[in-house]
């Protein structure tokens, strides 16, 4: 099985149980070994009292992309720590794209950067997540 095939099978297994990402309206666009791309069309219910996309929604979009990237090798992996810097607002109707990429993977720990970008190319947020591999797999691989 190639790395891309393994990443796709792991993503399919995760997506099947990821009610939160589905409920928020996130879409998994692409997944590969150590990376993932997700999108969200910002709706009115994603916006805060300032009329911009709520920071928690942007964080959730980035966090989900991070999750698919760090689980792409079929090793159960969770977030250990994450932070986000908000750079520009998102508005209702915007398509936000979260592009997650692995920076480093050493033993059970990984570091991932996620850029959240509007369709016009403006960076909305930069997210960095630290992962920790735990016991288990997302699907059973044949011997």
Residue 108 lies in a domain: yes
- pLDDT above 70 covers a percentage of the chain that reads 99
Residue 141 lies in a domain: no
Which of 1-5, 21-25, 52-56 is least confident?
Answer: 1-5
Total count of domains within the chain: 1
Residue 30 lies in a domain: yes
pLDDT digits (tens, 9 = 90+) for 29-57: 999 999 999 999 999 999 999 999 999 99
Residue 106 lies in a domain: yes
Print the domain residue range for 89: 3-133
Residue 142 lies in a domain: no
Specify whether the CB–CB gap between 98 and 41 falls below 8 A: no
What confidence score (pLDDT) does residue 68 get? Answer: 98
Given a cut of 70, whether residue 20 has pLDDT beyond it is yes
Q: What's the chain's average pLDDT?
A: 96
CATH of the domain at 7: 3.10.129.10
Distance of alpha carbon 49 from its chain centroid, rounded? 25
Residue 140 lies in a domain: no
pLDDT digits (tens, 9 = 90+) for 90-115: 999 999 999 999 999 999 999 999 99
What confidence score (pLDDT) does residue 143 get? Answer: 52
Please state the pTM of the whole predicted model: 0.95
Residue 25 lies in a domain: yes
């Amino acid at each position: 099985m190639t790395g891309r095939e393994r990443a796709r099978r792991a993503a399919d297994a995760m997506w099947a149980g990821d009610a939160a990402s589905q409920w928020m309206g996130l879409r998994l666009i692409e997944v590969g070994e150590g990376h993932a791309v997700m999108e969200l069309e910002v709706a009115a219910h994603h916006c805060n009292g300032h009329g911009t996309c709520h920071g928690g929604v942007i964080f959730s979009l980035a966090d989900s992309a991070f999750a698919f990237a760090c689980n792409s090798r079929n090793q159960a992996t969770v977030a250990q720590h994450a932070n986000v810097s908000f750079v520009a607002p998102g508005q209702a109707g915007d398509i936000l794209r979260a592009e997650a990429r692995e920076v480093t993977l050493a033993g059970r720990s990984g570091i991932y950067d996620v850029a959240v970008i509007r369709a016009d190319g403006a960076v909305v947020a930069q997210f960095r997540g630290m992962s920790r591999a735990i016991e288990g797999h997302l699907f059973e691989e044949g011997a």
